[in-house]
């Protein structure tokens, strides 16, 4: 064995055996502290500095053996299964977007854009997959503020479809990162966490994006309850949960008193029974209900001709000429069911649900808490998108929602990036560590001005 008797040389030899570069600093830091402790104890016993360091190094054992053992344990955990499943689902989305495009759209252009979204989405997913999530968490508040500042221009300058996709996909994550940064900060932390959700909600209202707002509210509530249930803020588990529920019900009461809740409940009623306002606000839901009456489990080839005519007759009256209905974009899943029967749509929804549940189960098994929260944000966001889209396509028309990985080119890219982020948590699980607890430092006051109309 070569003469390697200093701590630095020893650590260099150890890390030479560890193939995963990202794991090296973490593993070496622990050994370094141990060697320093051991050296200091030898110094206290009266050994000379050189001898103390040599003895400490010898005491630890052969660096190659130690490094090899650590290398065996700490390997990246590839997530090929989930990556492939995501790409397959996104490819199915490309196929469906091309097949069920608006009749007046050119097929070659639609195909090119859909393929480009798959390519960009895959690149974004892999980019996030290789990202170190601990870096993201380290700058949690900066990312929250950055997301908010960057998305405000959406209100004026960006095409609405892009704003909806970005806001509904990124805001729950930004909120969860904000929440994460208030660990152990007591009641003040809990209050600031909840206040942090308000500017995001305000942007959703101003866009206006109802789906973005509801995905943010539901995901935010679920994540805050989850955090409070783990006593994230250090105020006591049940006190925290109680406080979050009190704020949620308080907000509901406030909206009720302001009269917003009444109009919302009216919308829910019309979504449930669209026939009550079939020529006005219930129109789309009514049309969908008519179409669903004729959707069989599986449609045989060539059997589709009569169906839209029958549905059209029920919608517009038997004597009237059938008018084609635009079932593209958010209604693409319904178009698919109309053309092929409900079983293919059920299979697609089941595949998405399996992907999300698989991610959720893996995410909640993580020992790395920031990973928990990142995965939770991603799964809640995509889960609510799926749920809302399914509701919309089955005729419960409350607000627009795009089926993840299937509807919308830009949406697909954003969804794939989010999934890549969740998978990066699983990939780096074996070295994922929390930041050391630091003593509290005085912080500058952050003023948030809220305006209600």
Partner 1 sequence: MELEKSLVSGSMSLLVLKLLEGGDLYGYQMIEELRRQSGDAFRLKAGTLYPLLHGLEEKGFVTAYEQTAESGKTRRYYHLTKQGHQALRDKETAWDAYARAVGRVLKGGACLAGA
By the criterion CB under 8 A, which residues form the site for partner 1?
A: 27, 30-31, 33-38, 59-63, 65-66, 69-70, 72-74, 367, 430, 433-439
Rounded to 10 degrees, the C-alpha dihedral 195/198/200/201 comes to 150
Least distance from C-beta 33 to partner 1, angstroms? 6
Residue 437 vs 448, nearer CB to partner 1: 437
Reported as type and span, the H/E element at residue 150 is helix 140-151
Cα separation, 332 vs 353, whole angstroms: 18
CB 174 within 8 A of CB 204: no
Shortest Å, Cβ 64 to partner 1: 10
Residue with smaller CB distance to partner 1, 28 or 345: 28
Nearer to partner 1, 37 or 50 (CB): 37
CA–CA distance, 108 with 260 (Å, rounded to integer): 45
Angstrom distance (rounded) from CA 113 to CA 105: 12
Minimum Å distance from CB 142 to partner 1?
22
Closest approach, Cβ 74 to partner 1, in A, equals 7
Shortest gap between Cβ of 176 and partner 1 (angstroms)?
21
The least CB distance from residue 438 to partner 1, in Å, is 6
Residue 183 CB, nearest approach to partner 1 (Å): 12
CA-atom Rg of the chain in angstroms: 27
Query: Considering beta carbons, is residue 58 or 275 the nearer one to partner 1?
Result: 58
**Best CA proximity match to 388, nearest among 406, 401, 379, 378:** 401
Put residue 35 in one of left, alpha, beta given phi > 0 → left and psi -120 to 50 → alpha: alpha
Which residue's CB is nearer to partner 1, number 188 or number 433? 433
Q: Which is nearer to partner 1, 34 or 267 (CB)?
A: 34
The minimum distance between CB 408 and partner 1, in angstroms, equals: 39
Structure tokens at 18: 């560890």
Phi and psi for 320 in degrees, rounded to 5? -85, 155
CA-closest candidate to residue 285, choices 307, 304, 269, 298: 269
Q: How many residues does the chain have?
A: 453
Q: Which residues of 274-289 are buried (b: 16+ CB within 10 A; e: fewer)?
A: beeebeebbebbbbbb
Give the separation between CA 309 and CA 321, rounded to whole angstroms. Answer: 9
User: Of the two residues 15 and 209, which places its CB atom closer to partner 1 in the complex?
Assistant: 15
**Count of C-beta atoms within a 10 Å radius of residue 266:** 12
Minimum gap (Å) between residue 437 Cβ and partner 1:
5
Q: Which two tokens stand for residue 329?
A: 């974009």
Tokens (6 digits) for 173: 């994550």
Output 23 or 423, the one with its CB closest to partner 1.
23
- For partner 1, give the closer residue by CB, 39 or 101: 39
Q: CA–CA separation, 27 vs 32, rounded Å?
A: 9
Cβ closest to partner 1, residue 74 vs residue 289: 74
On whether the CB atoms of residues 381 and 418 are closer than 8 A, the answer is yes
CB of 225 to partner 1, least distance (A): 22
CA torsion angle for 164, 166, 171, 174 (degrees, to 10)?
-170
Q: Which residues contact 254 (CB under 8 A, 6 or more apart)?
A: none
* CB 173, min distance to partner 1, A: 24
> Which residue, 57 or 334, is less far from partner 1 as judged by CB?
57
Provide the 8-state DSSP code for 384. H
The DSSP string of 76-123 is: ----HHHHHHHHHHHHHHHHHHHHT--TTS-HHHHHHHHHHHHHHHHH
- Judged by beta carbon, residue 199 or residue 370, the one nearer partner 1 is 370
Supply the minimum distance, in Å, between the C-beta of residue 9 and partner 1: 15
């Amino acid at each position: 064995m070569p003469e390697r008797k200093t701590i630095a040389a020893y650590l260099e030899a150890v890390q030479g055996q560890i193939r995963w570069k990202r794991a090296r600093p973490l593993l070496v830091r622990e050994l370094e502290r141990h060697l320093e402790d051991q050296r200091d104890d030898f110094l206290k016993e009266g050994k000379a500095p050189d001898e103390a360091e040599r003895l400490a190094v010898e005491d630890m054992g052969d660096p190659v053996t130690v490094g090899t053992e650590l290398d065996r344990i700490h390997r990246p955990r590839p997530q090929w299964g989930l990556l492939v499943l995501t790409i397959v689902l996104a490819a199915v989305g490309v196929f469906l977007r091309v097949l069920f495009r608006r009749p007046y759209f050119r097929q070659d252009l639609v195909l090119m854009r859909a393929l480009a979204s798959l390519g960009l989405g895959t690149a974004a997913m892999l980019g996030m997959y290789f990202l170190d999530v601990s870096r993201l968490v380290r700058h949690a508040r900066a990312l929250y503020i950055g997301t908010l500042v960057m998305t405000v221009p959406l209100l004026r300058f960006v095409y609405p479809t892009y704003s909806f996709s970005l806001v509904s996909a990124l805001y729950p994550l930004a909120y969860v990162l904000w929440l994460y940064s208030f660990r152990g900060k007591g009641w003040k932390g809990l209050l600031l966490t909840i206040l942090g959700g308000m500017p995001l909600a305000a942007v959703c209202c101003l866009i206006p994006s109802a789906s973005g707002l509801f995905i943010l509210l539901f995901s935010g509530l679920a994540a805050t309850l989850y955090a409070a249930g783990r006593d994230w803020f250090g105020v006591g588990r049940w006190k925290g949960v109680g406080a979050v529920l009190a704020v949620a019900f308080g907000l509901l009461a406030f909206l009720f008193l302001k009269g917003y809740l009444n109009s919302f409940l009216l919308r829910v009623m019309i979504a449930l029974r669209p026939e009550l306002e079939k020529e006005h606000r219930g129109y789309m839901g009514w049309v969908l209900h008519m179409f669903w009456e004729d959707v069989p489990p599986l449609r045989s080839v060539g059997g589709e001709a009569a169906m839209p005519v029958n549905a059209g007759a029920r919608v517009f009256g038997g004597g009237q000429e059938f008018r084609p209905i635009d079932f593209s974009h958010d209604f693409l899943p319904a178009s698919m069911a109309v053309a092929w029967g409900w079983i293919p749509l059920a299979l697609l929804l089941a595949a998405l649900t399996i992907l999300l549940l698989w991610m959720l189960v893996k995410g909640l098994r993580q020992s790395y808490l920031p990973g928990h929260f990142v995965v939770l944000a991603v799964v809640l966001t995509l889960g609510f998108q799926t749920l809302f889209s399914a509701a919309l396509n089955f005729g419960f028309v409350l607000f627009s929602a795009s089926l993840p990985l299937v509807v919308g080119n830009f949406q697909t890219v954003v969804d794939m990036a989010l999934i890549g982020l969740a998978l990066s948590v699983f990939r780096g699980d074996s070295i994922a560590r929390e930041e050391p607890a630091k003593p509290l430092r005085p912080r500058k006051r952050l003023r948030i001005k809220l305006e209600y109309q």
